[in-house]
Structure 1
């Protein structure tokens, strides 16, 4: 049996909600809190939301290919291809000549900049087995469909509360992600007793530079955006939990840090926001999620204004590989399995899930 390290215990016990400004508190989580982007499965087409006792499953009222596949788990098409619409400047993923629909019934059409994503989604559908489709087979379709549904319902003139209840309100999604900053796995340090001090040594090696990087990143961003800091000489300082000196207590970012980070979140394109969501929910780390965006977004404007604000030279842009991000977010488990061994059908499956989810997020924001 694996030992549960102190850091994990504290993270579970002391999760706290974010305290932001009174204005934001008025919009804080409604009764239809969304559990979103669940691990890249076919079931992620159908967010697990039943507000006020109602059964609001998407496939009950929207006839779409994604919902049909989610119900039947069998292949019902022959040909898959991508069609470019030169009038709308978008790529439509089609089955047997008909454009796929998302769980909310919108066309699975991707902007011109997402051509590679459209082709990879077509590849997913073209290579599903003839029999017994597995529930993890469409991670790219899942994450792209979520992005499209959120884009469409938030661009409508009138608010459709039923649709919002199924995929989530953008403000709630951002605030939910911000909560992970308090419990970020990269902001909790174990004692020197764990694994003869080797884990703490590795945490110091990986996490301290990471903290310094993001303190600089958000300080530069805050000053560039009209100085969101209390004074000209103020700097963002990330709060972290050191189990040697702090024991078992909760970690919490300052109100200034929360407001700066929320300001940054409000400027993200929806596709990037959903990529961030999947990366954070997979790694349980806000810093790992940002690192994935900074390492994979290719839009030059967004790189300069959102993701590399503290780096002036493209050759010096901050970057981590998927493997490096997995190490950051999964460091304690790596040490646990090295010490106690892997649990079959648990740790090996987790590894595949990490790779699939982070890779699909990286492709979405590319």
Structure 2
């Protein structure tokens, strides 16, 4: 049609980035790519300018996988070199929410706070009015066996206690979740204060107060309601629920190896306390910091081989220059100081 990529996207809503994205590891290196390269006779790894660019496979130079060996690795030399030899071969790791670490007598469960509803897209669909009309609440999914144990029925309030606080939500009794596990979908629970501007399709109005000692409480004072705007549909809003904000009640759980947040939460279920209302949230930032330090103790800190703060070969968005990966790199002088503090 003679359209540019941007024009095509504006007309059709999407455009093709690439037609074939499969078996890229089998691509043969070009003569230009191989010029000036060296091949390790034992491993077959092809290097150029000190970096691995491919691997010889049955006499053919292929690009391979983005790993040090350029192969799909079963044994990770990287994990061994960086102080985690027991995990160099894939294995099962019992995490903080493994059943053996949950005390059922105290009402402890694994909370899954990350599952997606098929109608919403993280927080990016907050302004999508038709999607907000379809999905606008995030109750606690609970199996009938667990609900019977607690005497809950659909619509009852439940207090979900986390490591650093709690939130109050409603129960949805369903066989769509396994016994012993509860879940609360994300996407929902957006909030704003009375003085804040912004999205009104999917945000509750809340009041926030501090006890001056690191404790914070949030209470919903107003749900979703119709409002005047240039879009006539804003006056047709009929739902009042914006969900419950659960995220800030989750302690920071940095995975000891990757540093990524471990989202699954160990929670303790309770019936609502006197005065508890739907949407109530309580967080203790002092407990949050203490919890973070406990998880920090499980790490095996850098530097790694050669004084690196992280492996050079692992991809990352907006990757800095190689020198910045070293612990002794000074970004001001742009030199390595030789000091590791």
* TM-score for both structures, normalised by structure 1: 0.22
Q: Which has the higher contact order (CA 8 A, sep 6+)?
A: 1
Bigger Rg, structure 1 or 2: 2
Structure with the higher helix share, 1 or 2: 1
* TM-score for both structures, normalised by structure 2: 0.23
Structure with the higher strand share, 1 or 2: 2
